[in-house]
């Protein structure tokens, strides 16, 4: 028997729930498909929001041949075989087929490269699906040939609609007497993912030896053996908890930091979101007091990105404790804020001629680069010359904070600039 998610997979735009900005009656994507005028595209969104289904609906609507490739199972050889098949079939010259690449972010550069010529020549229409930011995961030449469409997690109303549809229209579930008395746990544990929702409903039906089923929060929790934690990823709990987490690290309290980390993880917060915030914090709140903090945070982000849960919790715990236990400085943050404010106020001040680039003879004739002094030619690799525009000469943007590492900065800069930079 097919899983419930497959049995209920929509076949038309009218059946599709969610993503109204793409499939609503007046939405641009739907209009293009209905007009038979589509080009290669990438669907970017979390799991279970309809990326694969949408690709299949487009293929059905256009009456086109549909090829499915998964990055988990497909190789360059598989891609080339599909391209060769399309190339040899003259019927595809008039109506290019659709090639759906699931989890395109997992394709290697060579796999993505192998698609370029076929996509560029219009041999087929590419539809890629990814849960990761295509700006980072899809090679530039391929990305430039595709329109990116963003899909969002399903709302509680979307999930309620799907749940009601499942118990009333599914060929098997409709034979049972199912009442959904409480939706909160169903919605919470589904986490905006239709597939998770269907899996939970199916699991409840399979583990309840009764044709009369009343779905409550307690029944969902008992079935999943998980307690419902009040944490709305788009509500106050989300913002309050991440705020408490960040402020605990900034305040050098590792105990509080891991506590709020645990609350977020238990509630199903996106680990990549947490890791991104740690990278920002490492630069903003620790900064030059411990430059290694940013390196560690970035390494943690990469590791979490590759590994995922549950192991990612250990990585996040390690870096959270390290950052909380590090000395703090916001001097780099304050410096760029002050510099940005100066640029906003004074505009594009003239860059001193002696530090301008002079790649041509004309520029040299205009005194670009004239009298520039190369620092490495001088004692201690330093020479006192002006770098700022003359209107703001001597302005101090960076003020070293009172920590051992930046006190070394202060000492070095004072020895170089003497009175000019009054540190």
* Secondary structure (DSSP) of 238-300: HHHHHHHHHHHHHTT-HHHHHHHHHHHHHTT--HHHHHHHHHHHIIIIIGGG-THHHHHHHHH
The pLDDT of residue 106 is: 83
Cα separation values, 153 from 47, 124, 234, 388, Å: 8, 29, 11, 48
Rounded Cα gap, residues 131 and 46, in angstroms? 5
Please list the pLDDT of the chain residue by residue as tens digits (423 residues): 788 999 999 999 999 999 999 998 889 899 999 888 888 999 998 888 999 999 999 999 988 888 888 877 777 788 888 888 888 877 766 788 898 998 888 888 888 888 888 888 888 889 999 988 888 888 888 888 888 999 998 999 999 999 999 999 999 888 889 989 989 888 888 888 899 899 899 888 888 777 789 999 888 888 887 554 555 555 556 778 888 899 999 999 999 999 999 988 887 788 889 999 999 999 999 999 999 999 999 999 999 988 888 888 999 999 999 999 999 999 999 999 999 999 888 888 888 888 888 888 888 888 888 889 999 998 989 888 888 898 888 888 888 888 898 888 888 888 888 877 665
- Token couple for 73: 């199972």
Strand partners, 148: 42
Rounded Cα gap, residues 194 and 47, in angstroms? 8
Rounded Cα gap, residues 318 and 275, in angstroms? 12
Other C-beta atoms lying within 10 Å of the C-beta of residue 139: 17
Largest CA distance in the chain: 91
Rounded Cα gap, residues 392 and 398, in angstroms? 14
Q: Assign 354 to helix, strand or coil.
A: helix
The answer to whether 403 and 397 have CB atoms below 8 angstroms apart is no
Which domains can be identified in the chain, with CATH numbers? Answer: 19-150 (3.40.50.300), 156-224 (1.10.8), 236-324 (1.20.272.10), 349-417 (1.10.3710)
The residue among 97, 20, 89 whose CA lies nearest residue 55 is 97
Rounded Cα gap, residues 168 and 222, in angstroms? 24
Instruction: List b or e across 75-88, with b for residues whose CB sees 16 or more CB atoms inside 10 angstroms.
Output: eeeebeebbeebee
């Amino acid at each position: 028997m097919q899983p419930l998610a497959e049995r209920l997979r929509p076949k038309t735009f009218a059946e599709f729930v969610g993503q109204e900005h793409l499939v609503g009656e007046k939405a641009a994507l739907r209009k293009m498909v209905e007009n038979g005028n589509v080009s290669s595209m990438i669907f970017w969104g979390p799991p279970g929001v309809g990326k694969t289904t949408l690709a299949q609906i487009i293929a059905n609507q256009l009456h086109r041949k549909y090829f499915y490739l998964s990055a988990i199972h497909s190789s360059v050889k598989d891609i080339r075989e599909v391209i060769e098949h399309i190339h040899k079939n003259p019927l595809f010259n008039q109506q290019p087929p659709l090639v759906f690449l699931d989890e395109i972010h997992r394709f290697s550069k060579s796999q993505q490269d192998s698609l370029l010529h076929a996509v560029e020549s219009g041999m087929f229409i590419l539809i890629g699906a990814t849960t990761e930011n295509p700006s980072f995961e899809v090679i530039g030449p391929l990305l430039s040939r595709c329109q990116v469409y963003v899909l969002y997690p399903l709302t509680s109303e979307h999930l309620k609609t799907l749940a009601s549809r499942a118990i009333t229209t599914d060929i098997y579930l409709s034979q049972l007497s199912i009442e959904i008395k409480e939706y909160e746990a169903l919605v919470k544990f589904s986490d905006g993912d239709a597939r998770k929702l269907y899996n939970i409903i199916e699991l409840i039906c399979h583990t309840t030896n009764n044709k009369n089923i009343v779905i409550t929060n307690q029944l969902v929790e008992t079935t999943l053996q998980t307690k419902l934690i009040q944490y709305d990823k788009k509500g106050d709990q989300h913002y309050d908890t991440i705020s408490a987490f960040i402020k605990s690290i900034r305040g050098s309290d590792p105990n509080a930091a891991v506590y709020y980390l645990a609350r977020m993880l238990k509630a199903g917060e996106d680990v990549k979101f947490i890791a991104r915030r740690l990278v920002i914090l490492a630069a903003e709140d620790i900064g030059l007091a411990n430059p290694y903090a940013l390196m560690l945070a970035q390494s943690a982000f990469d590791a979490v990105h590759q590994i995922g849960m549950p192991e990612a919790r250990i990585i996040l715990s390690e870096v959270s404790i390290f950052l909380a236990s590090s000395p703090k400085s916001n001097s780099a943050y304050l410096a760029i804020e002050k510099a940005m404010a100066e640029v906003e106020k004074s505009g594009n001040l003239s860059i001193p001629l002696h530090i301008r680039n002079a790649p041509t003879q004309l520029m040299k004739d205009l005194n670009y680069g004239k009298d520039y002094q190369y620092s490495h030619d001088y004692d201690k690799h330093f020479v006192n010359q002006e770098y700022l525009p003359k209107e703001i000469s001597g302005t101090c943007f960076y003020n070293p904070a009172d920590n051992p590492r930046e006190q070394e900065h202060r000492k070095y800069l004072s020895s170089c600039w003497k009175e000019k930079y009054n540190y």
